[in-house]
Structure 1
Amino acid sequence: DSTRTLPSVLPGDLLGGRAATERLIQAGRKRIAIINGQKGVDASRDRLKGYRQALSSNDIPFDPALVRPGNWEPSTGYSMTHELMALDNPPDAIFCANDLMALGCFDALRELGKSIPDDVAVIGFDDREIAQHTHPALTTLILPHYEMGEISAELLIDSVGGLLATPNQIKVECVMVERDSVEKSEENA
């Protein structure tokens, strides 16, 4: 049947955005900013939605001044962090919608004389290899490429065998990798 479509396998960006924001709240942060990805991109929309859900469920008012658009590049993380920290009431935490923007955020905070995580906690998304080599090491969420590929391959095999009875979209959990940019670990405290 040529009209049959295969489901898509995507990262759970909404739950990931929520988990990232919840982690910052857990660390005692109340003014949480987000440097998001480009408008019109599903990952950006869903990560922002998760951010807003976490704030709402923790009775933290949403402040549009703490939301900044990005383009997934370090330069955006850098410039948007400068904008955020220039606010009359700057954030005490920044959720960067990817690790590359978090690198730029780190540079800007250092330039402003801010300590991570003491003054400002930072969390990323994607778990790029560089995340473990930053100082402090970046807490981030894994973009589950391997798991998504594994599920996609299983679905493809099932579809060839006529066994496909799955939803249109399958979301794969983005697991958090705790490092030192939200709270210092015991060994680094």
Structure 2
Amino acid sequence: MSKIRKTLLYYDISEKIKDYIVSEKVQIGSLLPSERDLSKKFNVACITLRKSLECLCAEGILIKIPRKGSRIVALPKTKKTPYGKKRIGISIWLEAGINHPGTLNAIEILGKEFPSDEYEIIIIYISTSMLRNNDWGVLLNNNVDGLLIPVQEIPEYVLRKIQSSKQPAVFINHNNLNSCVWCDEESGMSKLFNYLSSLGHRNIAFVTGQAGLPVTERQVQAFKNCCKTKGLKSSDKYLLTGSYDERSGYQKTLELLNMDTPPSAILLGDDFMALGALKAINEKGLKCPDDISVSCFGGYKISEQLHPSLTVLKSEGAFSSAAKMLKRILESKDLIPEASIILDKELIVRESTGLAKKDRKTQSPG
């Protein structure tokens, strides 16, 4: 009897926490009060309160942040929230934050495709702790009607579990699942290589994002294929694995510039890596593009605002295409997944690429 009562109690407390989140208008991304404060507020033991929080984590409403507390990653469905609206979830990387240009761009597009009078946009945060602990409950037990998932570092088996769950979902930058939107990295890389070759570049380096991601694997294979087609034998030497951040771009570019035969052109995984590359080039006393050319995948506004402005391989319409696909699936009677969409890469030439400089040394001028 006591066991039944205890089960009902922590379930009841989890419902009260949901009501608290809604009534107090606690924002997504905020931390709940401490476990001790919540225990006092709801007049329950800490062990019961923890079970209540575990329930909310399993529902995809909270995630546990070590040494910080419980963070709200989705608003609960309660009697105080409108039932008439469909809830569209989009996963974003917690460490990148809500103000990352990619996140802001995605939310703006979703706002256009899913009007607020019919839909509610729910941000589902994923984090390095989930990757480290292999804990993906926030995605597998979410509380939404449809999912948009930029693949990022999410393991393949998690993506396949989501697909097999029959929940409407569209995956961005993955090419081995139904209902995917991904880019043709091969044709984009070929455009860039043809352009750089026309400028006399033979030593071309590529600093990738995280290894193991589907988009990274496609880009690496495209780079190797283009090197082979152009008769460049040093593709492995000039192929470095980094991560999608400025610091990685800076460090890996320094590695390349310190080689006995440094490259004359560097391609990086995104705009922020390229920003780090420009800092490393400047630190070595070199100039872009006079001494070395820089280009990147991406195309955020920052690429236009840097000096020099960046030559980019840009894919237009990935989030818009994914949002339209998800909307069609939700509106279909049987929620049937769609075939994948392949988008082309556009080469936008700007100031950061120029003629190859022959016999360049890495030493500072003078």
Specify the TM-score bucket, using the shorter chain as the normaliser. Answer: 0.7 to 0.9
Q: Deviations over 1:63-101 (max 9, x none)?
A: 312111111111111111111111111100101111111
Contact kept in structure 2, 1:56 and 1:62, CA below 8 Å: no
Secondary structure, in 3 states, of the residue corresponding to 1:142?
Answer: strand
The answer to whether the aligner puts 1:177 opposite 2:348 as a matched pair is: yes
Secondary structure, in 3 states, of the residue corresponding to 1:89?
Answer: coil
Partners of 1:83 and 1:149 in 2: how far apart? 34
Q: Deviations over 1:140-168 (max 9, x none)?
A: 12232xx2234334434554447x7963x
Map of 1:111 onto structure 2: 283
Map of 1:14 onto structure 2: 186
* CA RMSD in angstroms, aligned pairs only: 2.4
Partners of 1:153 and 1:161 in 2: how far apart? 14
Q: How big is the shift at 1:31?
A: 0.4
Partners of 2:305 and 2:293 in 1: how far apart? 17
Partners of 2:319 and 2:244 in 1: how far apart? 23
Query: 1:88 is aligned with what amino acid?
Result: D
Contact kept in structure 1, 2:179 and 2:337, CA below 8 Å: no
Contact kept in structure 2, 1:14 and 1:48, CA below 8 Å: no
The answer to whether the aligner puts 1:86 opposite 2:253 as a matched pair is: no
Q: Identify the structure with bigger relative contact order (alpha carbons < 8 Å, sequence gap 6+).
A: 1
Q: Given the two structures, how large is their TM-score scaled by the length of structure 1?
A: 0.83
Partners of 1:17 and 1:52 in 2: how far apart? 10
Contact kept in structure 2, 1:32 and 1:66, CA below 8 Å: yes
- Residues 94 and 154 (structure 1), Cα distance of their counterparts in 2 relative to 1, 3 Å cut: same
Contact kept in structure 2, 1:15 and 1:47, CA below 8 Å: no
Which segment is superposed worse, 99-108 or 52-61?
52-61
Map of 1:148 onto structure 2: 318
The answer to whether the aligner puts 1:66 opposite 2:238 as a matched pair is: yes
Identity of aligned residues (%): 25
* Greater per-residue strand proportion: 2
Q: Deviations over 1:27-54 (max 9, x none)?
A: 2100001111111011111111111122
The answer to whether the aligner puts 1:52 opposite 2:204 as a matched pair is: no
Map of 1:96 onto structure 2: 268
Contact kept in structure 1, 2:224 and 2:235, CA below 8 Å: no
- Residues 18 and 45 (structure 1), Cα distance of their counterparts in 2 relative to 1, 3 Å cut: farther
Q: Given the two structures, how large is their TM-score scaled by the length of structure 2?
A: 0.45
- Give the count of matched residue pairs: 180
Once the two structures are superposed, the pairs formed by residues 121-132 of structure 1 within 5 Å of their partners are: 121-132=293-304
Map of 2:215 onto structure 1: 43
Contact kept in structure 2, 1:22 and 1:54, CA below 8 Å: no
Contact kept in structure 2, 1:17 and 1:48, CA below 8 Å: no
Contact kept in structure 2, 1:52 and 1:62, CA below 8 Å: no
- Residues 82 and 157 (structure 1), Cα distance of their counterparts in 2 relative to 1, 3 Å cut: closer
Contact kept in structure 1, 2:207 and 2:241, CA below 8 Å: yes
Q: How big is the shift at 1:4?
A: 10
Query: 2:350 is aligned with what amino acid?
Result: R
Partners of 2:273 and 2:193 in 1: how far apart? 16
Larger radius of gyration between Structure 1 and Structure 2: 2
- Residues 142 and 60 (structure 1), Cα distance of their counterparts in 2 relative to 1, 3 Å cut: same
Gaps of 5+ in 2: 1-164, 169-177, 356-366
The answer to whether the aligner puts 1:26 opposite 2:229 as a matched pair is: no
Q: How big is the shift at 1:3?
A: 6.3
